[in-house]
Structure 1
Amino acid sequence: MLFSERLPPVQSLVVFEAAARHLSFTGAARELGTTQSAVSQQVRALETQLELSLFTRVYRGVELTEEGRILKLAVEEGFHRIAAALEQLQFRRQHQRLDVATDFALAAYWLMPRLPSFRALHPEVDVRLVTSQNWTPADAQEVDVAIAFFGQPPWVAGTQLLFAETVFPICSPAFLADLGELQAPDELADVPLLGLRSAQGAGWLDWSRVMASLGAARVPGEPVLTFDNYTLLIQAALSGQGVGLGWGTLVDDLIERGLLVAMHQFTVSTEGGYFLIEPKPHEPVNAKRHFIQWLLDTQQTDDSKGVPLAR
């Protein structure tokens, strides 16, 4: 049997709940913006339909019968649950959650400094960052958008290159002043190098591959410091502890602010880079569409600024 066949009209339940709460048809009429006689007629019609007596008429008001008290509790619970559900739905409409996956380096050095501009444009979207250094394409199904690093273009549906891989040595201005300008790639083998463990930079260029790409005849020595986190490597470079490898996009802001200097004469570019992955491209989610458009617009704005030169 359908609910519409089992339940009385919703309006009659609204009128009943108000009358039961006030224990007064007049009070209910005042709340509902109607007349006392209209409330009385609605209640009488409800009692007739249910074949129950819900109120006992007393001097200057009414009292609930046992059946009326049971119905009042049920109606109040039902209305409260409906109100809570509507409030939750309104919150979800006004605050859409977006899960974005990327690695620690991009989150710290590119995304976080720019995220306030997206939030200013779309305050209704709550962004949740999911960061991992060992992210795989299989993990994409758990998020709305992913920005992942690949050493070469991935064979993953729904991807597009966001930031091409451009790598060059970086260090602090003070460290470069003590070191002096380097002219040939072979000279890099003589400077204190900062390294990243291969497990944490899977697919990223390392010193051996960079120097080989530059045509150096010598091989680099062991790094004086090796890290399992790119953000720690950057901190070591900032504090003047050696020369690290800088990825354009990740370190451009630090170079522009004069905190790091880039040796662009030793730049290596590949077909890899950070790729934008949309795991469910046909899913029409406004928050996702807004975020992807903002990413592309911001990337174009960054590109228009050009690459900062070594200082």
Structure 2
Amino acid sequence: MSSAQGTAGLPLQALRAFDAAARHLNMGRAAEELGVTQGAISRQIKALEERLREPLFTRGPRGLRLTEAGDLLADYVRRGIDQLEAGLLRIGQPRTRTTLVVNAARTFAMRVLAPRIAGFVRAHPWIELRLETHRYFAQLHGADVDVAIRTGNGEWPGHVVQTLTREVMFPVCAPALLDGGGREAPPGELLSRSLLLHYAERPHWQAWLAVAGLDPALAAAGPRFGETALALAAAEAGQGIAIAWGVLVADAIAEGRLLRPFAPVLEDGTGYHLVMTDSASRRSTVQAFAAWLRQEIAGVAPAGKGSA
């Protein structure tokens, strides 16, 4: 079919008339099915052909035959009508549960998603959510994953990316760690006598110390954890000072389980992003999850200012 101008908004009655004529290959039977005159069917099809600038039927002694353009259009129109009818049937009927597979960074899943997930389930009871966590990114093309939550700068070519947060990183510790006046101690002194809790795969402490104008050698010692969630669990238990992105500790700070002993923050252009294929981004389940998560993230309390 050649490209046609002004094809948007084609009249539904013309498409239904064409669909009936394409199935019966007979104007009379199409008119009988739709309860209109044969002339009305002919006029609708003629108007459609003029709009598309393509003949849709050839007329011969043995009746109607679809042209190549007509055959292509008939396939699209039939599929569209089938989907519309299926949607109308679903309205008011019990909804079939649909599975949505979300792959997320483990610490984000534990500290941001898990405490809020019941809200999504209550709002979308027909969606069966399956949350998967892996240390490494899931491949989305050809994989059984609908949407991923990734950390990075937002550049994943060939994917649809929706930014959730632009993060800042800062140290946190349990309030008990500062009992006895430690909060007033100079940052270098407090850090030198505290256990620093590290995420093993990134030199976050060294980078933050440089931003804060402190000696990076202070980060030489301290246990290394394979997951940020483990370092934060140790910090909440009063074992030392961890360092993490704000969204991961906002709830703990708001609830008093953690606090910020120092004011400086590390900004590296990194954040959390929803990543999906183009086809997945058009699914209603993915759109529902994305809208819900953006709203939840917007409601996460800011971590507030440090005390030093």
Give the TM-score, by structure 1 length. 0.62
Which residue is equivalent to 1:255?
Answer: 253
CA contact (8 A) 1:238 1:260 kept: yes
Q: Give yes or no for the alignment of 1:158 onto 2:156.
A: no
Return 5+ residue gaps in structure 1 as ranges.
Answer: 1-89, 199-203
Aligned positions of 1:177-196 closer than 5 A: 177-178=179-180, 179-184=182-187, 188-196=191-199
The answer to whether the Cα contact below 8 Å between 2:99 and 2:129 also exists between their aligned partners in 1 is: yes
Distance 1:93 1:188, change over 3 A: same
Alpha carbons 1:146, 1:277 under 8 Å: kept: yes
**CA separation of 1:126 and 1:142: change in aligned 2, threshold 3 A:** same
Q: Distance in 2 between matches of 1:220 and 1:274?
A: 28
Q: In structure 2, do the counterparts of structure 1 residues 253 and 107 end up closer, same or farther at CA, with 3 Å as the change threshold?
A: same
Cα distance, 1:220 vs structure 2: 2.0
Match of 2:302 in 1: 306
Task: For 2:137, give the aligned amino acid.
Answer: W
1:134 aligns with 2:132: no
More strand by share: 1
2:111 is matched with 109
The equivalent of 2:205 in structure 1 is 207
Q: How do residues 1-311 of structure 1 correspond to structure 2 at under 5 angstroms?
A: 94-135=96-137, 141-150=143-152, 152-156=153-157, 157-178=159-180, 179-184=182-187, 188-198=191-201, 204=202, 206-281=204-279, 284-302=282-300, 305-310=301-306
Q: In structure 1, what is the Cα distance between the partners aligned to 2:129 and 2:135?
A: 19
Conservation of the 8 A alpha-carbon contact between 2:225 and 2:231: yes
How far apart in 2 are the matches of 1:127 and 1:96?
Answer: 8
Contact between 2:206 and 2:216, CA under 8 Å: does it hold in 1?
no
Stretch deviating more after TM superposition (231-240 or 128-137): 128-137
Superposed displacement of residue 171, structure 1: 0.7
Cα displacement (A) at 1:243: 0.6
Indicate how the Cα distance of structure 1 residues 246 and 253 shifts in structure 2: closer, same or farther if over 3 A, else same: same
Deviation at 1:213, TM superposition (A): 2.3
CA distance in 2 between partners of 1:265 and 1:217 (Å): 16
CA deviation digits over 1:203-240, x for unaligned, max 9?
x5511111122232442243332211222211211111
Q: Which AA in structure 2 matches 1:120?
A: R
Report the CA distance shift for 1:92/1:213 in structure 2 as closer, same or farther (over 3 A): farther
Tell me how far 1:143 sits from its aligned partner: 1.1
**Distance in 1 separating the partners of 2:142 and 2:169:** 26
Contact preservation (8 Å) 1:104, 1:131: yes
Whichever residue aligns with residue 159 of structure 1, its letter is V
Do 1:141 and 1:279's aligned partners in 2 also have CA atoms closer than 8 Å? no
Counterpart amino acid of 1:174?
Answer: A
Between the two proteins, the alignment pairs up a number of residues equal to 214
CA root-mean-square deviation: 2.7
User: What letter matches 1:94 in structure 2?
Assistant: T
Secondary structure in 2 aligned to 1:101? strand
Contact kept in structure 2, 1:164 and 1:270, CA below 8 Å: no
Letter in 1 for 2:277: P
- Counterpart Cα distance in 2 of 1:249 and 1:123: 27
In the TM superposition, residue 177 of structure 1 has moved relative to its aligned partner by: 2.0
Higher gyration radius (CA): 1
Which amino acid counterpart does residue 192 of structure 1 have in structure 2? L
Q: Scaled by the length of structure 2, what TM-score is found? A: 0.62
| Structure with greater helix percent | 1
Report the identity percentage.
Answer: 26
Q: Is the 8 A contact 1:102 1:147 kept in 2?
A: yes
C-alpha separation between the residues in 1 aligned to 2:216 and 2:189? 6
- What is the match of residue 44 of structure 1? none
Aligned-pair CA distance for 1:184: 4.4
Give me the whole-angstrom Cα distance separating, in 1, the residues matched to 2:277 and 2:298.
23
1:226-262 deviation line (CA, Å, top 9, x unaligned): 2112222112111111111022111110111111111
Cross-structure match for 1:58: none
Query: Which residue identity lines up with residue 224 of structure 1 in the other structure?
Result: G
Mapped contact 1:101–1:129 kept (Cα < 8 A): yes
